[in-house]
Amino acid sequence: MAPALWDQILHEIAPIPQQEVRWHVAQLIPRLQLSEGERQVAVEVLTEYLDDHSRIVVVFSMQALVELAARCPAP
């Protein structure tokens, strides 16, 4: 069975260091249907991206984190 799309994005594509890949991953993540555990992995990826040398990657990562937080139920 092929891995799920979110799994491929978060585990195979997200670690690629190329900035163009990273900013596209940051744009894709908020559009995925993720479970709580999957969302946590996505947040970890995006948090790591905040240390990227590319300002574009950092900005798209911050935007993605905001979008994910807006979809989460309040505690």
User: CA angle 61-70-48, nearest 5°?
Assistant: 25
Cβ atoms of 29 and 63 closer than 8 Å: no
Q: What is the pLDDT of residues 10-52, one digit of tens each?
A: 999 999 999 999 999 999 999 998 889 999 999 999 999 999 9
Answer yes or no: pTM beyond 0.75: yes
Question: Long-range contact list for 58-61, CB < 8 A, 24+ apart?
Answer: 60/22, 60/23, 60/26, 60/27, 61/22, 61/26
Question: CB burial class (10 A; 0-12, 13-18, 19+) of residue 74?
Answer: exposed
